[in-house]
Amino acid sequence: MRRPHAPSDRPGQATLDQLLTVLAAPAVLLSDPDGQVRPDGAQGLYVGDTRYGSRLEIGVDGADLHARSVPLDDAATARFDGELRGDRGLVRLRRERTLADGHVVDHVELHNVELPDSEASGTVDGVSLRVVVRARSDLAATAVVKSGAPLDVVVPQVGGGGARWSRNGTGAELVVEPAAGEATTVGPDAVLAWPVHLEPGERWSVRLTVGPAGGRPAGFTPAAPIPWTLPAAGAGHLDALLHRSLADLDGLMLADPHAPDGRHDRFTAAGSPWFCTLFGRDSLWTARLLLPLGTELAASTLRVLARRQGRRHDARSEEEPGKILHEVRPGGLRAGGLDLPPHYYGTIDATSLWCCLLHDAWRAGMAEDEVAALLPNLESALAWIARTAGPTGFLTYRGSSGGGLANQGWKDSAGGVRWADGSIAERPLALCEVQGYAYSAAWGGAAVLEAFGHGGAREWLRWADELAVRFRSAFWIDDPAGAYPAIALDAGGRAVTGPASNMGHLLSTGLLTAAEADLVADRLARPDLDGGRGLRTLSSTSAGFDPLTYHCGSVWPHDTAVAVLGLAGVGRHDVARSLGEGLVAAAAEFDDRLPELYAEVDGETSSYPTACRPQAWAAAGAVAVVGYLSGWPLPEWTRGA
């Protein structure tokens, strides 16, 4: 049973948890479950970082249309069936929706059904109707919609063939076929109407197309799905979760228009609708979790990020030579306290994760010439890791001084790193999992360099060993429930108390001894972290615990999946199965489309209303957990460096 949705950390933000998503990145359409796009909250058509349509309702004068969604497997399509029943017959409505090339196409058909005499209460004859479409566009920035800030009205220009909206050089359009018999404006709405007469058995249809005026905006382009190779099918509910997750990953697939020789390297956008773009950390973890299905996504993701690897020092974007970026926003991002440039590098972990993925993909069968082409990027990334670790020997971050992110690990909300007493840890911070990633990057990078005849492998192995010694002396905490690695070291070098899920990421890095891995497994198994529906981000024993917050007690599917595979890799299948089966149980309560995060309260799930759904690494995490529970071979990276 799923509880009512949880409040977001920022009241007033646009909510998603009750909406239906149709997805073909970089486009997303959010509607009510009956298919109507109503002018409420987050509903509408988004392409990249702009909402091009905020209303698209179809109705029949004098009748109350009730439509229902018909389940489909394809993330880019939807269908809604409804009916109008009167004493003279039955008119059925079918609304078929397709999202492609940055536009949504709704094909709406009315059918005057001939009823048997036993069902008709009067003479069956023709039906006259007036079909009305109401459409709106606010051309709002996606981030502004999310924030819940007031939006400006854009008045349309209308005609029988549709409507147009325009502001500051950006335009949206509605095209209708056939042309409407009536066209007018009512405030911000374009109102188009058709008089329709249907004889018994007759059908009438209209085609509605909404999208950016003048074609799809510049930026990342749609990509064809990857032909996944499944090691084995799941069973029952596992199979349903697997195929729903793979369909969502197909819907999130984007191509890099800057790939040379016409090659469109693919990667997954982070999530719908707020993060429908390239995110370094998200795309890397998604590709890593999907390595059992092939190396194509990993190889192309590595190349996409390598093209944007840092080459200079820039304080505003936080670009540095060798650094892998955090996110791309073609027009920048200004909302909710953020002010990000088009290319923003404010991440402490993406560079190490890039190195890890290159090693893992190579071991999984990535073509050697493709690996060799990325060796200069690997050497540059490893050099960034060593420089960033600096004299303390740990990778730390201070956070952005301007409008960027305060926290730069995956728990990037302002209060995401807390002490056991609930107080926020003071930056600069050295996160535990980031040290694990760096260890794995150094070890894996050394293996790749040595295999391809490049120097430096021995030095990187020594660097990794020294990091492990430093970590062992600085991060471990003992409390009455046992020993565990701290979530971070704070500005004073103190280990931040309070068990958190971050320690689960260490299991697959090789940084821990077998005995230490057992201590982590024992701690993850406790009910304060495993509440029965996945892994909590923060222990329920911590004063800052709140399952209805972004990072302080909620459950993130990718976080759970990383822990599950790490636990399996060190042989702790008892804990791995408990967490994995809990995640699968939660997925059933979300119709097998796991969101970015959710709350777990007393063994029941609760929606987090602004959570992206689908989210790439949540879907990839679901695939990884299904694979583990179905007996797929574990990815080699789960066994640690």
Cβ neighbour number for residue 382 with a 10 Å cutoff: 26
Query: Average pLDDT, stretch 179-200?
Result: 96
Choose between 92 and 117: higher pLDDT.
92
Q: Write down the pLDDT at residue 334.
A: 87
Note the pTM of the prediction, 2 decimals: 0.95
604-619 residue pLDDT tens: 899 999 999 999 999 9
Residue count (the chain)? 641
Query: Average pLDDT, stretch 134-141?
Result: 96
Q: Write down the pLDDT at residue 234.
A: 63
Instruction: Yes or no: say if 316 and 338 are a contact pair by the CB < 8 Å rule.
Output: no
3-state secondary structure (DSSP) of residue 364: coil
Nearest residue to 330 via CA among 168, 170, 219: 219
22-63 residue pLDDT tens: 999 999 999 999 999 999 899 999 999 999 999 999 999 877
E-strand stretches of 71-188: 77-86, 89-100, 103-113, 127-136, 140-141, 157-159, 162-167, 170-177, 182-186
Q: Write down the pLDDT at residue 2.
A: 60
Choose between 70 and 472: higher pLDDT.
472
Looking at the chain, the whole-number percentage of residues with pLDDT higher than 70 is: 95
- Strand 2-3 and strand 604-607: the pairing is parallel
Residue 14 has pLDDT above 90, yes or no: no
pLDDT band for position 508 (cuts 50, 70, 90): very high
412-452 residue pLDDT tens: 999 999 999 999 999 999 999 999 999 999 999 999 999 99
Question: What is the Cα–Cα distance from 352 to 573, expressed in whole angstroms?
Answer: 27
Nearest residue to 39 via CA among 56, 51, 24: 56
* 621-355-377 Cα angle (round to 5): 135
Give the CA distances from residue 572 to residues 202, 260, 454, 559, 577, in Å, rounded to whole numbers and listed in that order. Answer: 64, 45, 37, 17, 9
Query: Average pLDDT, stretch 223-229?
Result: 92
> Which residue do the tokens 């249907």 mark?
198
DSSP state of 639: G
Residue 394 has pLDDT above 80, yes or no: yes
Q: Write down the pLDDT at residue 6.
A: 60
Question: What is the Cα–Cα distance from 410 to 560, expressed in whole angstroms?
Answer: 13
Identify the top-confidence range among 217-221, 232-236, 294-298.
294-298
Q: What is the mean pLDDT of the chain?
A: 93
Q: Write down the pLDDT at residue 126.
A: 86
Question: What is the Cα–Cα distance from 402 to 418, expressed in whole angstroms?
Answer: 22
DSSP state of 232: S
E-strand stretches of 257-330: 266-268, 327-328
Residues whose CB is less than 8 angstroms from the CB of residue 582 and which lie 6 or more positions away in sequence, other chains included: 530, 531, 532, 533, 534, 560
Q: For residue 227, give both structure tokens.
A: 């032909």
pLDDT band for position 87 (cuts 50, 70, 90): low
